[in-house]
Amino acid sequence: MLRVIETFTSLQGESTYAGAPCFFIRLAGCNLRCSYCDTVYAQETGQPLSIDQLLEITELEKLRWNGHSLNGDILPIVEVTGGEPMIQEETPLLLKRLCEAGYTVLLETNGSIALDKVDPRVHKIVDVKVPSSGESGKNLSACLEKLSPHDEIKFVLGSLEDYHWVKKFLEARLALSQKNTVLLSWYDMSNSVPKGEHPISRTELAEFIIRDALPVRMQVQLHKILWPDIERGR
């Protein structure tokens, strides 16, 4: 059994699949407590569902998309997220079963748990925690070293200090951005600025990337723009 917070269809928001129709399976629980967490409710207990039940729910949603595909990916693509999905023992099996069923599968993970058991067909999106998250000490370098070329690395940042930290991080690991897409995802920290930090705007982040010739892809958190007042199910 897996503990599940919610399943829903939306548009993928933060990866190279951004904008694609996506069925989300949000699993319960997280081992971190990031300062900017926008899914605190995922730390609740959730509802127990078997892998077979989750496959059935996913299949029902797939029927609604009538066999359509996008760039060769059957729609909807499927993302397993959290919380932190890898804290549940059965998650690797769920991912494998989804791959076997022919879905394009994304795993959003916080980079603090080993990913050796994840099916190689899964597109892993590994979040590297920046200092303003309060959890950067939990980053596991082994998660990044073993990534496949189709996996992606994401930094969620909102301050000048975070930006400089990310820049140094990437300069010290040049091979990372040569092998994997690196995403910089801006969030607005202007209403909750950690002590000693200086918020940057979306535009400033874009200009810094261009000025510093940083080999990254900038992202905005699409779901927050489209549904600013809806916390769950988007």
Interface ranges with ligand SF4 (CB under 6 A): 30, 32-34, 37, 39, 42, 82-84, 110
Distance of closest approach, residue 67 Cβ to ligand SF4, in angstroms: 33
Distance of closest approach, residue 127 Cβ to ligand SF4, in angstroms: 7
Distance of closest approach, residue 164 Cβ to ligand SF4, in angstroms: 21
Contact criterion met (CB below 8 Å) for 4 and 25: yes
Nearer to ligand SF4, 40 or 60 (CB): 40
Nearer to ligand SF4, 97 or 111 (CB): 111
Compute CA 23 distance to the chain's CA centroid, rounded to the nearest angstrom: 14
CA atoms within 13 A on the CB side of 223: 18
Distances (CA, A) of 187 to 24, 62, 97, 106, 231: 21, 31, 34, 22, 15
Q: What's the token pair of residue 100?
A: 């076997």
Nearer to ligand SF4, 32 or 98 (CB): 32
Q: Please provide residue 50's backbone torsions phi and psi, each rounded to the nearest 5 degrees.
A: -80, 165
Distance of closest approach, residue 85 Cβ to ligand SF4, in angstroms: 10
Contacts of 197 (CB under 8 A, 6+ apart): 132, 159, 160, 161, 162, 189
Contact criterion met (CB below 8 Å) for 50 and 32: no
Nearer to ligand SF4, 16 or 39 (CB): 39
Distance of closest approach, residue 64 Cβ to ligand SF4, in angstroms: 28
